[in-house]
Amino acid sequence: PQSNSAATAITLSNRKQFISDGPHYDLIANIAQEEAQSIMCSEFNLEWVTICNDTKLGPDVRAMVDADHPLLLEEGENQVALQELLLSSGSGGATREEKKDEDDCCERTATTGVSTNTTKATLLIATGRGKVRAGIFSRQHLLTAGIEIGTAWHFVREARLRNWGVAVIDPNARGEGVGFDTFKRSFSRLFVADD
């Protein structure tokens, strides 16, 4: 008797029957990772912030952060909100941007003089080497065991229960060969106010 493949759960033992190794696996895994990230953002009030978008260095580097993270306040329509925060905090609206290299956006450090979450402990989550992206610990486990097993779901949930901030960086955004450099730049951009 044939099984109804639409109702069959993908497991470690049958995964290759449904998702072959190689480009097909990578495509399905990438779709699953993007969907898992979207669900985590929605469930835990996280938003994407761009760390660096210099195309000469490679693909964009982004991180999932709390909706009140200062970098989000610097972007686009949120700049008005940032200016209001700066003025109300008595800093005189002084926003300073330093550039070490005009062409390297990743080296830029923005100092706003105010952070909406400076007194909140923050959980920093970074994935390991390979093809896993922000918040994903194992593509195989994501595909065969689900979002709670294959991602940082439990860690983010526990951080929220403790009223901690969350920052999920993507060291593999530009490939694992430059993962440590991407990690350092992301950490600096998210947490270091002055170099």
Q: What is the pLDDT of residues 113-162, one digit of tens each?
A: 333 445 678 999 998 888 999 999 999 999 999 999 999 999 999 999 99
Bridge-based pairing of strands 122-126 and 165-169 is parallel
* Amino acid at position 32, single letter: A
Q: Percentage of residues in the chain with pLDDT exceeding 70?
A: 71
Between the alpha carbon of residue 167 and those of residues 10, 49, 117, 134, 177, the distances in Å are 30, 10, 12, 10, 22
pLDDT band at 68 (very low <50, low <70, confident <90, very high): confident
What's the token pair of residue 45?
Answer: 């009030």
pTM: 0.72
Task: Sort 64 into a burial class: Cβ within 10 Å, 0-12 / 13-18 / 19+.
Answer: buried
The tokens for 22 are 């190689």
Q: What's the token pair of residue 63?
A: 């991180």
